[in-house]
């Protein structure tokens, strides 16, 4: 069986990928994640995922490589990872009680190939009306600083998300996409690049059972 490389330092992506029951190796890559002005968020996130995959290919010419990047988009503006408490506070206040989009691009490089396949599911997210005190407590815990948009949908304390849908007012969206790696998309694309994966829904997260991206 070909080696599968997850080119990501994210512990959340590692935990999600492990649900598939496939042997894999975590080999993060370091790239500059600059977000240029005036470029569409979907174009930006696809480019970052592709660069990560191609950077991983330079280290390993034979493995099947999976790379991903996530952006939070509010009013057309990309919110990256906050660099300090003030930036985290500004992001969480801006997102509060509003809709935004989360886009996670996933790039797949088949064994011995240099041209990636890329998909970028989009999930609409509505934040609840949390208080300034809750924001400050989250910052004190250090929760926002490794996450795009300064939050995690899976945060058991802040519980920042009120709902997640395909679009505002639509059906339930992809939970894993907001965490940082859509499991259904990952399985679909791995199969397309020749990796046999047969994870059952019971192995995944409970939210995967009614995901609109579920494999038929």
The yes-or-no answer on residue 69 being catalytic is: yes
Place of tokens 């190796």: 25
Sign for the CA dihedral angle at 6, 12, 16, 19 comes to positive
Answer whether 92's CB lies under 8 Å from 100's CB. Answer: no
Distance between first and last Cα of the chain: 25
Residues linked to residue 109 through DSSP beta bridges, in sequence order = 65
**Tokens of residue 184, six digits:** 């259904």
35-67 b/e (C-beta count within 10 Å ≥ 16 → b): eeeeeebeebbbbbbbbbbbbbbeeeeebbbbb
193/110 Cα distance (integer angstroms): 5
Chain centroid, CA 207 distance in Å: 15
Residues in the chain: 216
- Catalytic residue, from 34, 69, 86, 143: name it: 69
Question: What residues contact residue 47 under an 8 Å CB cut-off, 6+ apart?
Answer: none
Catalytic residues: 69
């Amino acid at each position: 069986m070909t080696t599968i490389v997850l080119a990501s330092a994210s512990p959340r992506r590692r935990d999600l990928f492990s649900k598939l029951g496939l042997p894999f190796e975590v080999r993060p890559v370091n790239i500059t994640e600059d977000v240029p002005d005036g470029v569409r968020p979907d174009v930006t996130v696809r480019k970052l995922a592709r660069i990560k995959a191609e950077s991983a290919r330079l280290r390993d010419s034979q493995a099947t490589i999976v790379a991903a990047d996530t952006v939070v988009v509010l009013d057309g503006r990309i919110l990256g990872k906050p660099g300090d408490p003030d930036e985290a506070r500004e992001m969480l206040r801006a997102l509060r009680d509003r809709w935004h989009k989360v886009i996670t691009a996933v790039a797949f490089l088949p064994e011995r190939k240099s041209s990636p396949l890329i998909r970028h599911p989009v999930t609409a997210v509505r934040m609840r009306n949390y208080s300034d005190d809750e924001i400050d407590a989250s910052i004190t815990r250090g929760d926002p600083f490794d996450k795009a948009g300064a939050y995690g949908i899976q945060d058991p304390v802040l519980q920042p998300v009120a709902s997640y849908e395909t679009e505002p007012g639509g059906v339930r969206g992809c939970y894993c996409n907001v965490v940082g790696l859509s499991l259904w998309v990952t399985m679909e694309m791995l199969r397309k690049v020749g990796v046999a994966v047969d994870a059952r829904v019971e192995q995944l997260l409970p939210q995967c059972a009614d995901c609109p991206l579920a494999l038929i």
